[in-house]
Amino acid sequence: MSGLKTADFNSIMARSALATGTAGVTTVWGQTGTAAITAINRALRAIDSALITVRQSAQTFGTNSSMLEIRRQFTENIVNTLKGGAADLVNADLNEESANLLSL
């Protein structure tokens, strides 16, 4: 079980009448004894399976989020570079460019 220490689990199970499989007054989903333990174990396995699925989905989401952030930064850098190049072309110093042209 996720998040529960083995020693704690064993302690709980040792004190539980349901853990022994003996019929008791405790009812779990309308069942007692061994059937109740089976139902509990089935539910725990289903919960653990769901937790694994959630963790895997979160990991995939995190990976995709990181990839999108990298692509966003790359695109932003390209846009800034192109804007800077366009600004350099538009805002050229006419005196400097005239001097360059005359020297050629």
Residues 6+ apart with CB under 8 A from 24: 17, 18, 32, 33
Amino acid 23: pLDDT:
47
Asked if the structure places residue 45 within a domain, the reply is yes
Per-residue tokens: 2: 């996720």
Helices assigned H by DSSP within the chain:
6-15, 34-90, 94-103
When divided into structural domains, the chain yields a total of 1
Asked if the structure places residue 1 within a domain, the reply is no
In this predicted model, which residue has the larger pLDDT, 11 or 85? 85
pLDDT value at 26 more than 60: no
Asked if the structure places residue 97 within a domain, the reply is yes
Domain extent, residue 38, equals 6-103
Asked if the structure places residue 95 within a domain, the reply is yes
Asked if the structure places residue 94 within a domain, the reply is yes
What is the spatial distance between Cα 104 and Cα 92, in angstroms, rounded to a whole number?
18
Question: pTM for the complete prediction?
Answer: 0.47
Asked if the structure places residue 22 within a domain, the reply is yes
User: Vertex 95, ends 92 and 96: CA angle to 5°?
Assistant: 65
Per-residue tokens: 22: 């003996």
Asked if the structure places residue 27 within a domain, the reply is yes
